[in-house]
Amino acid sequence: MNDSQAVHVIGAPLDLGAGCRGCRMGPDAIRCAGLLTRLRQQGRMVQDLGDVTLTEREKLSADSAGGHPKAKYIDEIVRFNRRLHRKTAASVEAGAIPLILGGDHSIAAGTIAGAARHKRIGVLWFDAHGDLNTVQTSPSGNVHGMPLAAMLGYGYPALKHIGGKRPKVRPEHLVLIGTRSLDTGEQELIQRAGIRMYASRELHRLGMSEVVRQALAAAGEGTDGIHVSFDLDGLDPGEAPGVGTPVSAGMRLTEALEAMRVIAASGLLVSAEFVEVNPALDLRSKTAHAAVELICSLLGSDTMEEKSR
């Protein structure tokens, strides 16, 4: 990443993968919280490419959770992610940084596949959850708990084959940060694949800056750069109340901002997504504003210092 790179903002207003509706309004909530103005004020060339959407016919078919009994709305989610994959890949190919605004975390299947189409990428996954379930292990059938497994090459064929049949990221190039709620199947996959994870206790023991430096060293080794996937439920619910699956004892916003600054300074950023902002659950747009702060820090703005001046 360099300061002259354009940023392509892509909205991904999908909430079929989540257990509750509302995060389809997330992209507009983040925009309304001042994202584009803030990025332009810090000197970024920003182009809003609009939203990837389902067609009216697909919206009608999504009224019932068909497709697979253990993967709700999977057909519609796959179609959406195929479009998102193409749009993300085109942005990377054009030399820009695609910045995707979710939507639920099932959109990561499209974004990671798109970023990996022309580059070999590492992934830093900031999330309370692993999202490493498959149709065999998911206790809920909600697809927002499955995209990372799919990108590693596990799970529902149509989902994992978006952008081609090869896995989009290798286990050694994936790092989970802030994870604190895992299902049994996810724990087994992490151990079996040797995935590096920094749970809340490691964040407190090592400090966020050191965690991210170690994560960048692992995910960046032998790759062309890093994709950042940030689920706002990675933050503590007191910092981000507007999420559908809050988990206590999460990251403080100041810690997460420090993580974004360390990534920005590395120069390794290829693409990023910020997901699961649900305005229907938010308090005075607190979560949407947190997303804006994180994005601006990732793209080079030292927001906390600016606010203190």
Active site residues: 105, 127, 129, 131, 144, 231, 233, 276
Q: Looking at residue 81, what DSSP letter applies?
A: H
Tokens of residue 268, six digits: 């390794």
CA atoms within 13 A on the CB side of 265: 10
Q: Where are the alpha helices (DSSP H) in the chain?
A: 26-32, 35-41, 56-61, 74-93, 108-115, 147-152, 157-160, 184-193, 200-206, 208-220, 253-266, 286-298, 303-308
What 3-state DSSP class applies to 175?
A: strand
- List b or e across 270-297, with b for residues whose CB sees 16 or more CB atoms inside 10 angstroms: bbbbbbbbbbebbeebbbbbbbbbbbbb
Q: Looking at residue 101, what DSSP letter applies?
A: E
Tokens of residue 13, six digits: 């207003």
Residues 6+ apart with CB under 8 A from 161: none
Q: Among 221, 218, 303, which residue's Cα sits nearest to residue 260?
A: 303
What 3-state DSSP class applies to 270?
A: strand
Residues 6+ apart with CB under 8 A from 67: 73, 74, 75, 76
Tokens of residue 78, six digits: 């796959």
What 3-state DSSP class applies to 192?
A: helix
Cis peptide, bond prior to residue 103, ω within 30 of zero: yes
